[in-house]
Every structure is written in structure tokens, then in C-alpha cells.
Amino acid sequence: MVRPVLVDASTEDPVQTALNEAVLREARAWIGTPYRHQASLRGVGADCLGLLRGIWRALYGSEPEAVPPYEADGALDKSCDQLAEAGRRWFVEKPLEERQPADILLFRWRDHLPARHVAILAGPSSLIHAYERIGVVESPFASAWQRRLAHVFSFPSDLPDSNRKARA
């Protein structure tokens, strides 16, 4: 099991701290949203990627790129790791062991397969994600999930002001 590194809050960037707080507020606002494949509308329906897309829109405005149709297992193209590639384009990748609350977690079902599930780390021992047949929930970050963790990203704090929504 990879354990996260604890960061001294007094050394954190205040902009990133405020952003992380906004991510967690928004993610928790989605809890109870029903599961709907390819949907991304808080209170109406979302899948795991739809949850992430909705958080992005709440923080930054419009989505940075169109999402093509994908299968229920998250696969756009089974031959490549498209979730991780998109993560590298729009988020800040970091080592697994440096994960912190508000980070984006990508999971793979088997070691040799691409990542197919997205969650937000809610705290050291919980995550927020959309489950098929259940919806958006906060659930334990159990060892079964920790073993499948493939990538960690944080939301960027350095987007141009014109692309960021005003947050109070």
C-alpha cells in the first residue's frame, strides 16, 4: 500500500489551498446525483468522468475539450490510456504517494490495462466518485481501491484568469 505524504499546511500555496477547498465543496455537492452513463449534470446524472467534468466547469467555466462517446467501462480506445493522457493535458500529474485531498485519482482494473475509473480524494481515507447503479457517493478509500491506483493529478491553479470562474 502506498501511503500519502503529509504536507505541512503552513507551507502550501494559498491559491492551491483555496482551489482544493473549492474542489472538495463542489465534489460533495454532487453526492446523491444518480448514475447516468456519459452524463454530467449535478443532481440529474453523472458517471465518474461526468463528475470530474462537472467539477471542472464549476471551477473554470467551459470544458477544455469535447469528450467523445465512450463505453460504460470508460474506454474510448482500449489500446491506450486516454484518461491519463487527458489528465496530463489539463491537470498536474504527481507521484502516487504525494496525493492529497482534492486530487484526482485514476484507477485501472488490472496492472496491464489503462485507467478506467476516476475519483476525487476526499480525505486520507475516503474518495468521492460515481458508481454504476448507485450514483455519486463518498466511500472508503479501501485497500482494494488503493491497489488499483494508477495516476494522481491535481487541479491546475495557473489557468489564465479569463478561463477561471470567480470563486468566493
Q: What mean pLDDT comes out for the span 97-104?
A: 98
Residue 107 lies in a domain: yes
pLDDT digits (tens, 9 = 90+) for 143-162: 999 999 999 999 998 764 44
Which residue type, as a one-letter code, is found at position 161?
D
DSSP state of 46: E
- Total of domains in the chain: 1
**9, part of any domain:** no
- pLDDT at position 79 is 59
pLDDT greater than 90 at residue 90: yes
Q: How far is CA 23 from CA 58, 61, 64, 155, in A?
A: 9, 14, 17, 8
Classify residue 128: in a domain, yes or no. Answer: yes
Sign of CA dihedral 19, 25, 28, 34: negative
pLDDT per residue as tens digits for the range 32-74: 999 999 999 999 999 999 999 999 999 999 898 888 888 776 5
Give the cell for residue 122: 476526499
Cut 0.75: pTM above it: yes
Residue 165 lies in a domain: no
**Domain range holding 137?**
15-160
Q: DSSP string of 70-124? A: --TTS-S-TTS-HHHHHHHHHSEEE-GGG--TT-EEEE-SSTTSPP-EEEEEEET
CB of 128 closer than 8 Å to CB of 136: yes
Query: In this structure, is residue 3 part of a structural domain?
Result: no
Q: CA dist 19 to 58, 99, 145, Å?
A: 11, 15, 25
pLDDT at 142: 97
Residue 81 confidence class, pLDDT cut points 50, 70, 90: confident
Q: Is residue 8 part of a domain?
A: no
Q: Is residue 168, in this structure, part of any structural domain at all?
A: no
How high is the mean pLDDT of the chain? 87
Report d(CA 88, CA 18) in Å as an integer: 22
d(CA 138, CA 99): 17
Q: Which CATH number covers residue 60?
A: 3.90.1720.10
